[in-house]
Chains A and B, each alone.
Chain A
Amino acid sequence: MNRFQSSISRRRFLWKAGALAASTLAPRMLFASTGAPERLVVVVLRGALDGLAAVPPHGDRDYADLHRELAIAPPGVADGALALDGFFGLHPSFRFLHERYLAKELVVMHAVASPYRERSHFDGQNVLENGLTRPIGTADGWLNRALAALPGGVHPLSERAVAISQNLPLILRGDAPVLSMSPAAAPDVDEDLLTRLADLYSKDPWFSARLSEAVQGEAMMDATPDIPSSKIMAGAPPAKAGPARGTDRVGSAARMAAALMRSDGGPEIAVIEAMGWDTHANQGASSGTLAQRLAGLDNGLRGLAEGLGPLWSQTAVLVVTEFGRTAAVNGTRGTDHGTGGCAFLAGGAVRGGRVIADWPGLSRNALLDGRDLRPTLDLRSVFKAVLGEHLRIDGGSLASRVFPDSGGAHPLQGLVRA
């Protein structure tokens, strides 16, 4: 494709989209510009990351026996973990995260879990994203409810959050307006067709709203000077829906999120998804399947930081998964669904260089149901702290509207720089 030609066409489209918005659709800004400097990126790892491989507790006497050939060796040994606090380490693939730890920009959390205590991926992800205590079909997500509680509130016709995906993940679904975007497969849109569709959809509110958002999204992409879509187009197959899968997909989603957030009036909040953590067989240790995935995630986060540039200092990146995996290796050199796992909070705004873990131990009696790392920290305590300290959402809203029934989950203190 001729990029020069298409960029001209996109500029024309932008102009037209403006005209379209002024005529047939409601007039609206792109992302609301509130002047709030804080930025939040949530990375959802779907499939249940093995926290005992990502953040090996090499100081635990039972760790090596349970995790066996999947265990990561202590720091200082060949292929060993990257040193954290003497008890925990980071998987050797996490080079960027380790740099952030040393720069005091990374908090590592362990033995964490959502309130969900069964072992279904799908229900587990549902609870992780709905912010409630149990899975409910198609409820809205906690990050969407948080938007309504943001200082400055929700402008009915503007979006402060974006999901890098064709379709909205549950965490961002709800009443507050949000956008979903993915790298455009072909940038040429027939402007006249869009105008006519807007007319055709005028009696169908559902289609009408979607089209209006879609036009916003396209205009947003055009208004973003360093949007990485051209690079993505050049290197990768055409846009693919849904969560990032391979290593490069995390990277391209992260770069796109960064470019959007840096653009004038860009979103303050972005959600990125990455799949491929369900390592039932041949998980590997310092190298192998999981190690490659972790390296892809680490590179993606590095790309996010580089893309955010000066904004990084005001950014918090929360990396979470639906639950952990079994403490013991299973019969096929992998791990099965478990409970407690790890989470990360990285960014220039984070008061890092710390591991937060009330470690329950891995002895047989300490394990939950004799098999899983027992959670000692509710993920909602982390979510509340990030939303409260970083995005300055008041505690009352957090306890009532964003996370109902979360009275027992007190927000952590001091996660973010004052």
Chain B
Amino acid sequence: MVHAEIAVLRFGLGARPGELAAAAGDARAWLHEQIRGPVPPAGSSPLAPSDQIFAEVMAARREKREMRRAAAAATDADPKATQNVLRDAYRPHYRAQVLARAQSAALTSRPFAERLVHFWANHFAISSDKGIIFGLAGTLENEAVRPHVNGRFLEMLRAVEQHPAMIAFLDNQASMGPDSAAALLAKRRSVRPDQPHREFGINENLAREILELHTLGVDGGYTQKDVTSFAEIITGWSIGDADGRFAGGQTGRFFFRDNLHEPGAKTFLGKRYPDGGLGQGEAVLEQLARHPSTARFIATKLARHFVADEPPPAVVDRLARAYLASDGDLPAVYAALIDSGEAWGPEPRKFKTPEDLVFSTMRAFGTAPGKPEDVLRSFELLGQRQYTPGSPAGWPDVAKAWDGSDALMHRILWASSVAERFDRGVDPLDLAASSLGRYARPETLTALRRAASGAQAVALLLMSPEFQRR
């Protein structure tokens, strides 16, 4: 039996020295204990909250505007000097968030819960290559996901969809009901018929992705009419700002702008929602969180993440039932997963993502990054720059998306450089025992014994099929 190995390597984030022994007594109990109680904040020191970061960035934007004006006045000014203001304001926060995430992943004694944080942050993915949220990407994970990982899905859903980073990422902050107070006012003001006025209306991006990616799934049984209706329902879900076109609310916090909200009752998924301002959208989120399609969609993704790229239907059914029976209580769903025999197949079946590989390597060495540079370059080289999945669908969770031959060559290059940094004072066979336990194949151990150098042995270990999978 290799239960401890499966619990630590597949459900967890890879074994730290001594961790396999700790899980060896009762591997299932070791997992069950991790899904109770709150998950601690990321990193070793507190991170700046999103509203503070947002306020800093608003200030940087104003500075940028003023620099532009000054540059326009003074002909000898360097126009490029103004371009990097935003990125400069954001960069320290991005780096701090990536570092904190990696430190938690490297050091946590509840790696199953930490993996679930990563799972949900990827489920509700935002991508920091959209400039406006560059410095906010980690705040969604830390403020909206992490506190609710061992809670109810509805609470997490509401926290995420009302988080300023999500609202900005999917463009809802200025989405305007066509008959909202703000739209009517603007139309009255636009009096010159020869000048086409700006179109006032909704932006359906957030509404569509909530349905497609966060709750029902693309085949979950909604139509374009439902998307449009939901987009109208959540008009007004916005971000507070002290000044500017939409002054109001607390800067950088979720703010419901009544004057952008489309008034009136609406129909969504065949159900009528009376006019209710902010509550109208929150009632829809409740309906979505209870929907059988949502249960199925989440069950499928969890089963894919923990069992196999093609998840067994029986596991999906079991998790979906646990979800519906508990009214979306996530620990009940995790418990059903832990108790699914299919998740305990002895062969490692999931090809590690670059993120998995980096975190499990740090854990194998019992080390943690001290500064952002320690991990930033690894993610860049391996092709998973943190918080940049590029689309709201998040990083793919199947081997096919990561197993290109060029990607393998990058892994080999990376493993070689890691091995050169870490080989001193490490016995490769001890490392194999503490990081892989009974997962280690005899031929791998033979290769380690015959390696030309300690560094080469470590590289071989990191590149062995059993270390590359979980």
Cα of A182 to Cα of B354 in the assembled complex, Å: 16
Taken together as a complex, chains A and B put the C-alpha atoms of A242 and B410 apart, in Å, by 13
| Given A186-B413, A240-B380, A334-B171, A204-B406 contact (CB < 8 Å) | no
Contact between A69 and B198, CB atoms less than 8 A apart: yes
Q: Does A231 contact B (CB under 8 A)?
A: no
Instruction: Convert A326-357 into 0s and 1s, putting 1 for each residue whose CB lies closer than 8 angstroms to a CB of B.
Output: 00111111101100000000000000000000
Is A363 an interface residue, CB under 8 A from the partner?
A: no
State whether the Cβ of A95 lies closer than 8 Å to any Cβ in chain B.
no
Q: How far is the CA of A212 from the CA of B406 in the complex (A)?
A: 11
**Of the residues A184, A193, A275, contact of B460 by C-beta under 8 Å:** A193
Complex interface: chain B residues within 8 A of A200 (CB): 443-444, 447, 460, 463-465
Is the CB of B434 closer than 8 A to any CB of chain A? no
CB distance from A332 to the nearest CB of B (A): 4
A369 to chain B, nearest CB (A): 6
- Shortest B174–chain A CB gap in Å is 5
Give CA–CA (A280, B465) in the complex, Å.
Answer: 42
The answer to whether B405 and A179 touch across the interface, beta carbons within 8 angstroms, is yes
Are B405 and A280 closer than 8 Å at their CB atoms? no
Q: Is B324 part of the binding interface, using a Cβ–Cβ cutoff of 8 Å?
A: no
A44-71 CB contact bits vs B (8 Å, 1 = yes)? 0011000000000000000011001100
Indicate whether A193 sits within 8 Å of B456 (C-beta atoms), given known contacts A173-B400, A337-B208: yes
Asked whether A245 is an interface residue with its Cβ less than 8 Å from the other chain, the reply is yes
CA distance A296 to B114 in the complex (A): 39
Question: Complex Cα distance A369/B223, Å?
Answer: 11
How far apart are A136's CB and chain B's nearest CB, in angstroms? 12
Count CB-based A-B contacts (< 8 Å). 182
B309's nearest neighbour on chain A, judged by CB, is A138
Interface presence of A85 (CB below 8 A): no
Q: Give chain A residues whose Cβ lies under 8 Å from the Cβ of B404.
A: 163, 165-168, 180, 210
Expressed in whole angstroms, the Cα–Cα distance for A335 and B352 within the complex equals 37
- Considering the chains assembled together, what is the distance between the CA atoms of A390 and B380 in angstroms? 38
A216 within 8 A of B: yes
**Chain A residues with Cβ under 8 A from B463's Cβ?**
197, 200
- Would B443 and A203 count as touching, CB distance under 8 A? yes
How far is it, in angstroms, between the C-alpha of A163 and the C-alpha of B405 when the chains are bound? 11
Q: Is the CB of A197 within 8 A of B412?
A: yes
- Contact residues of A between 248 and 275, Cβ < 8 Å to B: 275
Q: Which residues of A contact B224 (CB under 8 A)?
A: 119, 369
Chain A, residues 167-207, CB within 8 Å of chain B (1/0): the string is 11000010000011110111011101110110111011011
Rounded to whole Å, the gap between the CB of B468 and the closest CB of chain A is 7
Closest to A187 in B: B413
B439 at the binding interface (Cβ < 8 Å): no
A65 to B413, CA, bound (A): 55
Could you tell me which residues of chain B, from 164 to 181, have a CB within 8 Å of some CB in chain A? 170-171, 174-176, 178
CB of B213 to closest CB in A, whole Å: 8
- In the assembled complex, B56 has its CB within 8 A of some CB on chain A: no
Q: Which of B421-470 contact A (CB under 8 A)?
A: 443-444, 447, 451-452, 456, 459-460, 463-465, 468
Report chain B residues within 8 Å CB of A336: 203-205, 208
Given contacts A167-B402, A194-B412, A210-B404, 6 further A-B contacts (CB under 8 A): A180-B407, A189-B416, A192-B452, A207-B408, A241-B384, A331-B176
A-B contact pairs, 16 of them (CB 8 A): A69-B196, A119-B224, A121-B391, A122-B212, A163-B404, A167-B383, A185-B410, A193-B459, A196-B447, A200-B463, A238-B377, A238-B380, A241-B410, A281-B171, A330-B201, A334-B171
B: which residues have CB within 8 A of A? 129, 170-171, 174-176, 178, 196, 198-205, 208, 212, 218, 224, 227, 309-310, 354, 377, 380-385, 390-391, 393, 398, 400-410, 412-413, 416-417, 443-444, 447, 451-452, 456, 459-460, 463-465, 468
